[in-house]
Amino acid sequence: MNGVLTRHPLFVVALFAPAAILVGVLTFYPFINGVLLSFTNYSPLYKDTSFIGFDNYAYLLEDPAFWDVVKNTLIMIVSSVVIATVLGFALALLLDRIPVGRRTFRALIFQGWIVPWVTVAVLWGWIFNADYGIINWTLRNLGLIDGILGWTTDPVRAQIVIVSGFVWRIIPFMMVMALAGLQGVPDELLDSARVDGAGPLQRLRHIILPLCANVMLVAALLQAVRLFQEITLPWVVTQGGPINATTTLSLYTYKAAFQQWDFGLASTVGILWTIALVVIASVYLKFLLRRHD
Amino acid sequence: MKHAGPVTGSTAQNAVGEGRFTLARLAVATIATLMMLWPIAWMVSTSFKRPEAVFELPPRWIPEAPSLAGYEVALSAAVLRYFLNSVIVASATALLATGAGALCAYGLSRLRFRGNRAVMLALLGSLGLPIPLLMVTLYLLFFRVGILDSYLALILGHTVITLPVVVWLLKDFFDALPREFEEAAFIDGASPAQVIRLVILPLVRPGLAAAAIFVFVTSWNEFIFGMTFISSDTYRPIPAAMGLLFLNEFQYRWGDTMAVATVVTLPIMLLFVLFQRYFVSGITAGAVKG
Amino acid sequence: MRGWKSSLALTLGLAIAALPGTDALAQQKTLRIMGYQATFEHFRPAWEWVLEEFQRRHPDVTIEDIPTAFNETLNQITVAVLGGNAPDIVIVNPVWMAQLDSLDALQPLSGLISDAELAKFPERVREDLTFDGELKALPLNPGPIMMVYNRDLMREAGLDPDAPPKTWPEFTTAIEKICALPDRNGGKVSGIALRLDRGAQTAQWLIPVIWGMGGEITDSDGEFNFTSPPVIEALQWYRRLVEEGCAQPGATVGDTRNLFAQGRAGFIFEGPWIRGLVRNLSADQLQIAPDGNIWIAPMPENPSGEVRQFANHGVIAITAQAKDKELAASFVDFLLNDPDVVDKHFEIAQIMATGNTELLASGAHGADPLTQEFVKYLPNSQALPMQHPRWLAAMDALVPHIQSVVDGADAQAEAEQAERDAQRALSRR
C-alpha cells in the first residue's frame, strides 16, 4: 500500500493536512504557548506583561489551598473510577448471563452516558436538595436521618454528591467496556473449568478477571483522564465548596483563567496538571504491562 | 469473538442447572436498570409539575395535575434559538471533525511509516491536555483572529476534543478493511478521489456514522467552551444557556428547570435510539484496542 | 446513510440562512444591553416595559437585550469587552467595576450626561462609582442593605416587632430567641438567613458585620486587613450562630431568600428588591408593611454608636466600545431621569428604579413608605471598601476560611491564613 500511495504525494498531503493543521493550531500551539505563558504574569486585565521565571510555580506550590484542591481532586476521581469500574463490571457480568433482553437492558442503562453534564448537574442539585430533594425524603422515610440533611454544606457529603454524579455518568461506559471484554473470554475455557469442578467465584477470579483486567484497567484510566477535565458538576452543584472540598483541578484552573483572568497562573496549573497526569499514567501503564505481559 | 446466541456454550446439563437463576438474574437486571434510570424519570416527572406540586411531600412520581407550564418556558422562542445554535454547532463540528479525522485515519492505516504509532499515541495523549490550559491560548487566538463569540469559535473548540477520538475510532475501522480492492483499483489507474468515493466510502459508512454521532453528542453536551467563548444570545448553545439563565432565578423553579433539562437531553437520547448500534461500537472500538 | 448526510447538509444550510447580519436594515440603529435584569423575575416585567417604551419613543432604535445570570454577568461582559464585541450598555454591580475599569471598558459619563443631572445622584454613591477621577456609572437600582425582619416571628418569640434590635448584642439575642421557636413549613426556624456558600459574595456580605463590630477590612494605609479584633469577632459571631443552629451553613443566596420567604428566618440582610423577592417566593403570603409580616430597620449600630450601611447597587454604565455613545446616554437619561419612566418602572417592579434623589423624593417613590426607609439610608451607604481589579479574587480567597471557621476551625488562625491568601490574590498585579 505504501508504494501505491507514494505515487500520489499530493493525495498523501491531502490526507494529513486538515487534521495536522487543526491539531497543530488548536492543540499543540496552545499547549506550547501555555508553557511559555506559565513563566509570565500575563493577564488581560493589565497592559504590560513580564517574564517572571518560576514565580508562578513557587506561588502555587507554597499555597496550601492548591494542595487541598489537588488532594480533593484525587480523592473524588479515584473513588469515582474505582466504584464505577466495580459496579460497571458487575452489571456486565449480570447482563452477559441473561438469556433475553440483553440488548434492551444495555441500551437502557447506556442512556446515562449520553445525558449532558449540565443536565446531570441541575438534576443532582434537585434530587439532593436539602428541603425537598427525593434523596432526603427517602432517607427520612427509611428512618436513616431525622429532619434535613444539607448535602452541599458539609465537605464530605458534598464530595459524595459529586462522586455519585461522576459514578452514575460513567457506569454505563464501564459496563459497555466490560461487556466487550467478556466477549473475549473463550467459552471453552469456562466450560473446561466447570468440568474440572471450578465454582462460579473461582471461574470469575481465575479466568474472567485476568482476561478482562486489561480492558477494564485501560477503560478506568481513560475515564480518570476524562474526569480530570470535568468541570460542570462541581461548578453548578457546589461551586467548588464548601471549603474547596469539591474544587477540582479543572475548576480551579478555569477560575484562575476566566474569573480572575490570571492567564499566567492558570497556565501554570495546567502545566503542573499535565506533568502529574503523564507521571501517573506512565506509572499506571508500566505497572499494568508488567503484570499482564 | 463469542457467538451472539442467547445460550452459552455450556452443556445441556449445565444449562438446566443455570436455568434456575435465569429469573433471578432478570429480576436483578431490572432492578439495576431502574436504579440507573430513576434520576431521568424523576427529571421528566418534575418537568410536568406545577410550582406548588414540585414541593409536595411525599413526592409523587406521576403528577396529580400535570402541567405544561415548564414546557412553555422550555420551548419559548429564546430557548429554541439556543437549541438551533447547538444543532448548528454540533452538526458542523461533526462534519469537520469526522471529515478531517477520517482522512487522517485512512492515511495512518494505509501508510506504514516510522512514527506511525507515535502519532496515534500523541493524539490520544492530547485528550489528556487540560482543556482550561488550551482555552487560554485559544481565547487569545480567537480574539486575534476576531472569531470570539461566533459559531466558528465553538466548532473549532469542539473539534479539539473530538478529532483525536475520531482518528482512533476510524483507524481501527480502516485497519479491518481489506486493502486488496484499493490496491487493485489504484493499479487499474483509478485516481485517489475515485478510490475513496467508489471503493472506500461505501465500506466505511457505518464507521463514519459512529464517529459523527460521537462528535455530535460531545459537542451537544459541551458546556465550558459555550460559557467562555460566547457572549451573545445569537450564538449561545443550550448547555451554556442553561448555566447562564436557569441556575439563577430559576433555582427554585424546578419544574421549569427540569423541563429545559429534558429538552436538552431528549434529542440526544432520540439520536441514540435511532443509531444505537453505531453508537456503542463507536464508543468501545477505540478503547478496547488501546 | 445518505439520508443522514443530506439532513446534515440541510441543517447547515439552515444554519447559514439563520446567520444574523444578512437581514440588518440599513437605517436602523441597534442598542445592545447586557445585564441580569431579565433573568430575575422581580425585575423582568418592568425591564421589558422599559425596553419597549424606549423603542416606542425612538422608532429608529432596536434594542438587543442580552440576559446573563447575575453570577456570570461580569465574566460575560469581560469576555465581550476582550473580544472587541462589547455591548453598548451594561448593568453591573459596583464590585465588578474595578476589573472592567482596568480593561478601560467603561466610558466616563461627564460630557454625555449634564453635570446638573449627575449632581442629582447622592455624593457617596457617586464616589463609589468614580474610578480614576471619572464617574463611570449611575445607580439604577440603589441598594442600601438593611436589616429585614419577620414581625410575626419577633412577636412569637416574645419580642416587640415595633422595636427591632438596635445594637449587636440585642440583635444576637433576638436571633437566638427566634431560632428557638418550633419548626414550621417543613423545617427548622433559622434566627437569621446568612449567605454561607462557596461564592465570593459570602465574604462580601461579611463586611457589614465587620463594620457592625466596629472594624474595617482595610488598615489606615488602605491595605487589606483581615486580622483585626472586630474581624475575628465577626467570624466568631457567624460560627456561634451556625453552631447554635440559628443560621444554615452553606446557604446560597437563593437558600437564604427562600428560607426568609417561607417564614423560616427571623432576619435577612437585603436591599429594596426584598419586596419583589418576598412577593414571588412566598406566593403573596407575606406582606411587607410597617404593621405587616415583614418590615425593615437600619443595621444595628456599632460599639461606638454609629450606623453604617452597606450597599449593593445595581448600576448602569456605558461602555467605551459603544458605537453610539450619545444614543446610549439618551437611554441612561431616559431610564434614570425621566419622571414618567421612573414612576412607571417603579410601579411595575416595586423597587427603587433610579438613584436620582429628586425623583426618589417625589412621585411614586415619594409615596411609598418602604422606599422612603431605604432612601433615608442611601446617602450614607457604601458599596466598595477598596477599588482593586482583583477584589473579587481576594473575596473568593477568603471564603474557604470563613467556611472553615463556621465549621469549627480556630478563627484567629483562619483569619491570618485568609488575610495572607487575599493579599496574595491582590498582589497578583
Angle, vertex CA A171, rays to CA A93 and CA B123, nearest 5: 110
Across the interface, of C248, C396, C424, the residue whose CB is closest to A150 is: C248
Distances (CA, A) of A233 to A167, A239, B214, B264, C89: 12, 9, 21, 16, 32
**Per-residue pLDDT tens digits for B51-63:** 778 877 788 888 8
Cβ-defined contact of A253 to B54 (cutoff 8 Å): no
Q: Using alpha carbons, select from A57, A104, A5, A82 the residue that is nearest to residue A266.
A: A57
Which whole number is the average pLDDT over B54-79? 86
**Per-residue pLDDT tens digits for C306-358:** 998 999 999 999 999 999 999 999 999 999 999 999 999 999 999 999 999 99
Q: Spell out a b/e string for A146-159, using b for 16 or more CB atoms within 10 Å of the CB, else e.
A: eebbbbbbbbebbb
So what's the pLDDT on residue A291?
A: 59
Residues C144 and C375: their CA atoms lie apart, in Å, by 8
Nearest CA in chain A to C390: A260
What is the least distance, in Å, from the CA of B75 to any CA of chain A? 16
So what's the pLDDT on residue B13?
A: 44
Q: How many CB atoms lie within 10 A of CB C303?
A: 14
* Helix orientation angle between B131-145 and B151-176, rounded to the nearest 10 degrees: 120
Q: Is A258 on the interface with C (CB under 8 A)?
A: yes
Residues B50 and B32: their CA atoms lie apart, in Å, by 30
**Residue C28 pLDDT greater than 90, yes or no:** no
So what's the pLDDT on residue C361?
A: 94
So what's the pLDDT on residue B20?
A: 64
**Residue C266 pLDDT greater than 70, yes or no:** yes
So what's the pLDDT on residue B248?
A: 59
**Residue C298 pLDDT greater than 60, yes or no:** yes
Q: Greater confidence, B2 or A212?
A: A212
Range in B39-43, B242-246, C265-269, C409-413 the model is least confident about: B242-246
What is the least distance, in Å, from the CA of C183 to any CA of chain A? 10
Q: What is the DSSP track for C299-358?
A: PPB-TTS----EE--EEEEEBTT-S-HHHHHHHHHHHHH-HHHHHHHHHHH-S-----HH
Residues of chain C contacting A156 with CB distance shorter than 8 Å? none
Cβ-defined contact of B91 to C40 (cutoff 8 Å): no
Tell me whether strands C190-193 and C265-270 are parallel, antiparallel or unpaired.
parallel
Q: Which residues of chain A have pLDDT under 50?
A: 293
Q: Greater confidence, A160 or C38?
A: A160
**Residue B7 pLDDT greater than 50, yes or no:** no
Q: Is C75 on the interface with A (CB under 8 A)?
A: yes
Which whole number is the average pLDDT over B142-154? 90
Burial of A137 (0-12, 13-18, 19+ CB in 10 A): middle
Q: How many CB atoms lie within 10 A of CB B197?
A: 12
What letter would DSSP give residue A24? I
Nearest CA in chain C to B95: C8
3-state SS assignment for residue C201: helix
So what's the pLDDT on residue A120?
A: 94
Residues C46 and A21: their CA atoms lie apart, in Å, by 50
Helices (H) and strands (E) in chain C, counts: 20, 12
Task: Please give the distance of CA B195 from its chain centroid, rounded to a whole number.
Answer: 30
Of all helices (H) and strands (E), which one includes residue C295?
A: strand C294-297
Judge whether B263 and A108 are in contact, CB under 8 Å. Answer: no
**Residue B19 pLDDT greater than 70, yes or no:** no
What is the least distance, in Å, from the CA of C12 to any CA of chain B? 6
Cβ-defined contact of C250 to A241 (cutoff 8 Å): yes
So what's the pLDDT on residue B282?
A: 61
* Strand positions, DSSP E, C27-156: 29-35, 61-67, 89-92, 130-131, 134-135, 138-141, 144-150
Q: What percent of chain B stands above pLDDT 90?
A: 41
C-alpha cell at B284: 468501545
Q: Is C83 on the interface with B (CB under 8 A)?
A: yes
Residues C262 and C281: their CA atoms lie apart, in Å, by 8
So what's the pLDDT on residue B281?
A: 65
**Residue C10 pLDDT greater than 70, yes or no:** no
- Looking up cell 454577568 gives C73
Q: Is A255 on the interface with C (CB under 8 A)?
A: yes
Task: Enumerate the β-bridge partners of residue C92.
Answer: C315
**Residue C197 pLDDT greater than 80, yes or no:** yes
Judge whether C383 and C128 are in contact, CB under 8 Å. Answer: yes
What is the least distance, in Å, from the CA of C324 to any CA of chain A? 25
**Per-residue pLDDT tens digits for B114-141:** 888 899 989 989 999 999 999 999 999 9
Q: Is C98 on the interface with A (CB under 8 A)?
A: no
C-alpha cell at C253: 443566596
3-state SS assignment for residue C216: coil
Task: Enumerate the β-bridge partners of residue C265.
Answer: C190
**Residue C187 pLDDT greater than 50, yes or no:** yes
Residues A176 and A214: their CA atoms lie apart, in Å, by 14
Which whole number is the average pLDDT over B184-196? 84
**Residue B11 pLDDT greater than 80, yes or no:** no
- Looking up cell 490550559 gives B133
Tell me whether strands C138-141 and C314-318 are parallel, antiparallel or unpaired.
antiparallel
Q: Whole-model pTM?
A: 0.88
**Residue B12 pLDDT greater than 90, yes or no:** no
**Per-residue pLDDT tens digits for C59-113:** 999 999 988 888 889 988 998 898 788 999 999 999 999 999 999 999 999 999 9
So what's the pLDDT on residue B6?
A: 41
